[in-house]
């Protein structure tokens, strides 16, 4: 079984994710092979007292890049938008932003 820290890679801090925080939604970069139930369980284990209502996942396609005539591609990754229940605690990591 995977560790919760293997599933949740990092939080995503952007203007859009900060606007979503007002609606109890938080954005994370997650492992590509993880599913919604694994992401929900990992968030509830990492952050004590947090209750997840639902998880939306998005597969992000890596962009193609060029340096001179050499062409490459950034790696694909997965993004998860986690919605918390109304009676849930907030995630303290994002409160100081």
All structural domains of the chain with their residue ranges: 4-85
pLDDT, the chain, mean:
93
Q: Which residue has the higher pLDDT, 6 or 94?
A: 6
pLDDT tens digits along 12-39 = 999 999 999 999 999 999 999 999 999 9
Q: Residues 58-87: what's their mean pLDDT?
A: 96
Give the number of other Cβ atoms within 10 Å of residue 38's Cβ.
19
Query: Is the pLDDT reported for residue 11 higher than 80?
Result: yes
Question: What average pLDDT score do residues 64-84 get?
Answer: 96
- The CATH architecture one would assign to domain 4-85 is 2-Layer Sandwich (3.30)
Q: What is the pTM (predicted TM-score) of this model?
A: 0.88
- For residues 90 and 93, give the distance between their C-alpha atoms in angstroms, rounded to a whole number: 9
């Amino acid at each position: 079984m995977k560790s919760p820290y293997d599933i949740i890679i990092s939080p995503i801090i952007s203007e859009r994710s900060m606007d979503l925080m007002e609606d109890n939604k938080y954005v994370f970069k997650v492992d590509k092979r993880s599913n919604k139930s694994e992401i929900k369980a990992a968030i509830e284990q990492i952050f004590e007292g947090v209750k997840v209502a639902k998880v939306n996942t998005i597969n992000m396609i890596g962009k193609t890049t060029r340096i001179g005539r050499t062409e490459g591609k950034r790696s694909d990754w997965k993004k998860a938008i986690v919605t918390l229940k109304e009676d849930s605690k907030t995630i303290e990591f994002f409160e100081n932003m």
